Structures are given as structure tokens and as C-alpha cells.
A and B are shown apart, each in its own frame.
Chain A
Amino acid sequence: DAGVIQSPRHEVTEMGQEVTLRCKPISGHDYLFWYRQTMMRGLELLIYFNNNVPIDDSGMPEDRFSAKMPNASFSTLKIQPSEPRDSAVYFCASSLGGVGTEAFFGQGTRLTVV
């Protein structure tokens, strides 16, 4: 398996633009997590899904952020409109529940909003 795949690796956008980050989890994994990493706040859990259903989105900072998982092999995190303070590295991770609890991370997307 290729592991968790995130795209793009880097994204530079202007304030006010819509940004969509994409994630393909490891095949067969039933949990998917979105994290945001900044120097100030560390690694924050934004939202996680179980079997494509959002379980906890309490970490989503504002209504400008939304996440979807239309099927078991794809998830998106959207920011609309984007702001400079959204600049961070966004990670997607997936894992199996019940059998092995290790979360496997993608390479992350470095987002810069100017």
C-alpha cells in the first residue's frame, strides 16, 4: 500500500480564496483524522471520521472550515474563505479500529495564505 496520500504537498493562496485539501487513506482503514500543526498550538485534531461518518468535529476552528468523506477512500478539508492565520501544515491520518490502533500519517500539506 502507498500509505496515506495527501495533495497538494504545498499550497499558496491569497486571503479570501477557497482552499481544498485532499486525502486518500490506507485501503481498509475505518478511521480518518484531520490535524493542523502550527508552532504556537502544536498538533490539533480538527475532525475525525469513523466509517465515513464525522464523529467529532469540535476541533474545527470556525464555520469557514468544513470536511467531508464521501466514501471510504477519499476525504477533503475545505477552508472558505481562507485567512492568513490558517497558514499551517495540515495532516491527514488513518487507522484501523479494533485491530491495531496505530495511526498512519500522510506527508502533510503546507498551506500558506498571503
Chain B
Amino acid sequence: AQTVTQSQPEMSVQEAETVTLSCTYDTSESDYYLFWYKQPPSRQMILVIRQEAYKQQNATENRFSVNFQKAAKSFSLKISDSQLGDAAMYFCAYRRFIAGGTSYGKLTFGQGTILTVHP
């Protein structure tokens, strides 16, 4: 079974600085997707960034980028120029690819990391 581990329950950063959130996962599969979701106090889950396992290039979305190390099964999120609005809980997630088809199945989340941004 796939497991996702976020070892940092809480992180903090100064506004305008850079912070990196860690995520590791365990899988025997070669094809899968990885995601970072953000959950602000409103409770709404918002997709931040996604990474296809077969792509070596790290995904980037504006101030958000990932460091995907497939061999190490590591998928960290870097937030540059942190803003007060980035304060939220961040979840790393893994979605398996069903071999022989084009469907994606089970979506598993880590425990989450609470990010605090100090002005």
C-alpha cells in the first residue's frame, strides 16, 4: 500500500522569505502523480501543484516549485517570496496509476504541515 509521510507538523517563515515543506512516499509503482494541496482556514482544499512521475523536470507554478527525487521517493514543496495568504495547512498526496489503462485510482494524503507566515 502507498503511504505518504510529512515529517514536519508545523513550519514558519517570514514574509518574503523562502520555505520548503518535506514529503516522502512509499510505493512500488513506477507511474503515478504527486500533488500538493493547500487548506486555508476556510477548510477548502486547493490544488497548488502537481507532478507526473514520468517527468524528470520539476513542476513550477509561479512562486511554488517542487523538488521531485523519484529514486529517493521525495517530493518537497518550495514557496518563494512567502505571503501572508500562504498561511495554511499543506498536504502532500499520491495518486496511483492503474497499470494497463489510463485511469488513476486511489488518492492518498500525508498528515499535513501547518505553515505560519510572520509579517
Contacts and interface: CB of A to CB of B under 8 A. Distances in A.
Partners in one complex: yes
Interface stretch (A18-26, A61-69, A79-87, A99-107): A99-107
A89 B43 CA distance: 9
A42 B45 CA distance: 13
Contact of B107 (A33, A42, A89, A98): A33
A99 B43 CA distance: 26
Given A42-B110, A102-B35, A102-B50, A97 B43 contact: no
The dominant DSSP class at the B interface is strand
B108 A45 contact: yes
Nearest to A102: B47
Interface residues on A, range: 20 to 34
Interface string B80-118: 000000000001010100100111111111111000000
A35 B109 contact: yes
Interface residues on B, range: 20 to 34
B105 A50 contact: yes
Interface string A18-50: 000000000000010101000000110100101
B33 interface: yes
B62 interface: no
Top 3 nearest A-B pairs (CB, nearest first) are A97-B103, A105-B45, A98-B102
